Amino acid sequence: MKYFKRILLSSAVFACFSSQAALIVSYGGQAATDGSGLTSNLIDPSNLLNPANGFFIETFDNATQMIGFGVGSSAYNDPTQNNQMGCTVNALFAGSAIQVNTSGSDAFNVRKGSAGYAATPANDTTCFGYTPAQGGTLPSWITIDYSNILTAGVGINYLGVYFGSIDTYNYIEFFDAEGNLIETLTGPQILGNNGGSSGNQVQPGSNVYVNISNFAGTGFSSFRFTSTGVAAEFDNIVVGLSNRPSQVPEPASLLLLGLGLLGLNRRKIKH
């Protein structure tokens, strides 16, 4: 059962993981200055990002939409939540080729504040995403797919995400351009590496900024959050292109060619 006290997290725990020895998982981000808890160390703490540097962010807040992107979609806003001012899925701006797929109409919502079916990630006062929605069918999942905006030979080889009150029944999967599951990171792995307990919104080890990098080849094209219980909560999703500069440059040069998502293993994904 989730509960809703908030704390400011700080973590610098690092661990290697996966069936592929090259994959690296590390834990720890920086305090986000927009009130959203933790964000990636690879971007500005304001979460205001120009995709020209080879990174993309999803904050679920219109105030931090990507530079050059239109206003995001409010189609997934929690219908039971009155205070949804500014909540949007930034990637779903008008004309966007980025796709969001879900396990059903009750699989995904965006909201501010905790409820009995979704707990705000620690110290996050902004909008966040979660699966399933209230009363949603289990298991539930949401996949973010950047395949349509990636050019040949380009994928995503970095994912950062602020994972709130992590449960043993939450996991992240990664897929290649053909839809094959290539990697999975589970809730028990994250909790075990950080000394956290399932569903605890007080412990730093249960509210973690997770960094996953060094994927084989060009990386992944989509990723998926899956939950077999109530619920998986996440915010400040940052993905980085496989051909981005080795260091974050000033906003210029590299065009946004694509960014990634959820889901893994070596089998074809079914929609």
Q: Are 89 and 73 in contact (CB under 8 A)?
A: yes
Give the pLDDT confidence of 188-216 residue by residue, as tens digits: 999 999 999 999 998 999 999 999 998 98
CA–CA gap between residue 232 and residue 107 (Å, rounded):
11
- The DSSP H or E segment spanning 55 is strand 55-58
| Token pair belonging to 15 | 């661990």
Instruction: Check residue 82 and give its pLDDT.
Output: 76
Give the pLDDT confidence of 168-193 residue by residue, as tens digits: 999 999 999 999 999 999 999 999 99
Select the CATH number that applies to the domain covering 15-30+52-241 from these four: 2.60.120, 1.10.1060, 1.10.20, 3.60.40: 2.60.120
169: left (phi over 0), alpha (psi -120 to 50) or beta: alpha
Q: Per-residue pLDDT for 261 more than 70?
A: no
| Domain definitions of the chain by residue range | 15-30+52-241
Note the pTM of the prediction, 2 decimals.
0.84
Instruction: Check residue 22 and give its pLDDT.
Output: 64
Instruction: Check residue 216 and give its pLDDT.
Output: 87
CA–CA gap between residue 146 and residue 98 (Å, rounded):
5
Give the pLDDT confidence of 91-131 residue by residue, as tens digits: 999 999 999 999 999 999 999 999 999 999 999 999 999 99
